[in-house]
Amino acid sequence: MDVKQLLYERGIRPSRGLGQYFLIDENVARRMVEYAGVGCEDVILEIGAGLGSLTEQLVGRAKKVYAVEKDTALCEVLRARYQNQSRIEVLEGDIMKLKLPAFDKVVASIPFALSSPLTYKLLLHKQGFGLAVLLYQREFTQKLIATPNTTAYGRISVITQVLAEVEVLEVVHRDAFYPSPPVTTALVRLKEKKERLVNDTAEFFAFVTEAYDQRRKKLRWLLKGCHAENTELAEKRPEELSPSEFAELTNYLRPSRGVSR
């Protein structure tokens, strides 16, 4: 598919403000599908479908594809391209506001501005997210795999590593997109952990968020009155705790905080 030609014919100008960097490298799209292990029984959620470069690869392999796109003009292109395809449904709207359909895997080149909120949405999805292969800004991927006491380590590192297995698959060159983005991107695979380290993911998210709201303080202030107040972990600051230690503290909290001991 000639993305540039299609944009020209439709009179569509990519919006950098909306993070519209269209994937044009078919090999990258093909590898994304392979990394996700998409098969004929899989229902796939694609976020930011754009003109359908990745969608085309997914439709050829999956049982069903839900292609989410916010831009009305792009949705019209997608519907026209796949009007006779029963295995794809175009969902027009903001992914952060849409109620997610039932799916098995997520494969997507997402807008960079949505990296954090979308990752949280998938990780905290009550029905689970299964497995996700996502194109992120490379700098963001470093946050996902960061370790304690490093600059990149933060809330997203803790929550992601507790709830999912994280693997950086490859760096993607800028020429794989049109227009070429001002940053380097990377492919990441997130696999939902079957055995959760925390009893309640919502409480875990809230606890880590609250801790990082005052990251320079020792955690004793946050644990006051809780069973974990007198542990050695309470004397540490958020950036000093490993993801598993955060999970341990969350599970120590009194039932009044929403998590059983």
Measured CA to CA, the distance from residue 79 to residue 84 in angstroms comes to: 9
Residues of the chain with CATH 3.40.50.150: 3-192
pTM value is 0.92
How far is 254 from 261, CA to CA, in rounded Å?
6
Instruction: Give the CATH class of 3-192.
Output: alpha beta
* Structure tokens, 122: 């998938």
Per-residue pLDDT 10s for the chain (261 aa) are: 788 888 988 899 888 777 889 999 999 999 999 999 999 999 999 999 999 999 999 999 999 999 999 999 999 999 999 998 999 999 999 999 999 999 999 999 999 999 999 999 999 999 999 999 999 999 999 999 999 999 999 999 999 999 999 999 999 999 999 999 999 999 999 999 988 899 899 999 999 999 999 988 999 888 887 777 778 888 999 999 999 999 999 888 744 444 433
What three-state secondary structure class fits 166?
Answer: strand
